[in-house]
Amino acid sequence: MSNPHETLRSTAVIFSLRRTPMFAGLPEDDLAMIADLCILKTYQKGEYVFRQREPAHGFFIVRRGIINVHRVGTDGREHVIHLFRPGESFAENSLFNESGYLTDARSVGESEVIMVPKWEFLQILRQRADIGLRVLATMSGHMRGLISSLESVALKDAETRLMHWILRRCPRPISSKPAEIAIGMTKTMLSGELGTRQETLSRTLAKLREAGLISVRARTLKIPSPLKLKAAFQAHLEGGKA
């Protein structure tokens, strides 16, 4: 007779796997096979999922909450790489290297993650090239996001970085049609992602609001004209800022 608790756990894991781009569209039997390997882990606010250089035991999928993946610079400052939310996977690179985790990962609030064990999952990849290609596609997506983040951090000031962050989330193609963006995080988290201080972020938001480029309500940004915002962004890049 099946254990009701195990059945519930398996159903929850399969549901989360199905929401993850890496596994979306896989047959139920494949999802069940992967779910059988998985381990559910719960973390409290501020608790670390792993630390940089710790031995890598697998990669993770966020089931509930937010996970802050970051590196700490030589100056002691924390540089946010990405905030991972439900349905997103992280640390897949641990499957293919022996040097341990490359970053720190910390729970922003109470979070629940699914750990996909490294060695057991590698056994599946040796037999299933189609799943291996999904892993590579996911890692490629993370790389594109990292490059975009590096481009943003390289921009000369907080105002330019914030405009870049907003424009990346506007509907494509960029037009004069008004748009709304859910910030989805606190100002503290957003300032960390932009590599600036919270006070600087608040001043920058106020400056863009005064210029009529955005309006802010709760955790939603309203952009009257993304095209106008893009023009202001390009002017900053070209040194048009006084």
The model's pLDDT over 180-227, given as tens digits with 9 standing for 90+, comes to: 988 877 787 788 777 778 888 888 899 999 999 999 887 889 999 999
At 43 the pLDDT is: 96
Residue 29 has pLDDT above 70, yes or no: yes
Asked whether residue 17 falls in the same domain as residue 124, the answer is yes
How many helical (H) and strand (E) elements, i.e. helices and strands, does the chain have?
Answer: 8, 11
Q: How confident is the model at residue 3, as a pLDDT?
A: 67
* Domain edge (last residue) among 109, 140, 171: 140
Q: Please tell me the total count of domains within the chain.
A: 2
Residue 232 and residue 235: Cα distance in Å, rounded? 5
Total-model pTM = 0.65
Could you give the CA distance from residue 136 to residue 43 in angstroms, rounded to a whole number?
27
Residue 189: C-alpha distances to residues 166, 197, 237 (Å): 15, 10, 25
Tell me: do 123 and 78 sit in the same domain. yes
Least confident of 5-19, 56-70, 217-231: 5-19
DSSP state of 21: T
Structural domain includes residue 195: yes
Domain boundary among 107, 140, 173: 140
Q: Verify that 12 and 46 share a domain, yes or no.
A: yes
Residues 50 and 122 in one domain: yes
CB 161, CB 155: distance < 8 Å: yes
* pLDDT of 149 above 80: no
Range of the domain at 200: 158-237
Residue 150 maps to a domain: no
73, part of any domain? yes
81 shares its domain with 193: no
Note whether 219 and 193 are same-domain residues: yes
Give per-residue pLDDT as tens, 150-165.
Answer: 555 544 578 888 888 8
Residue with tokens 């960029």: 174
5 burial level (CB within 10 Å; 0-12, 13-18, 19+)? exposed
Q: Are 194 and 165 in contact (CB under 8 A)?
A: yes
Residue at which a domain ends, from 140, 169, 203: 140
DSSP SS3 for 54? coil
CA distance readout (Å), 181 to 30, 56, 82, 84, 201: 35, 35, 17, 17, 17
Query: Would you state the pLDDT for residue 241?
Result: 45
CATH number where 112 lies:
2.60.120.10
**60 and 135 both lie in a single domain:** yes
Transcribe 163-180 into DSSP letters: HHHHHHHSPSSP-SS-EE
Q: Is the pLDDT of residue 47 over 90?
A: yes
pLDDT computed for residue 38 by the predictor: 94
Which DSSP symbol is given to 44?
Answer: -
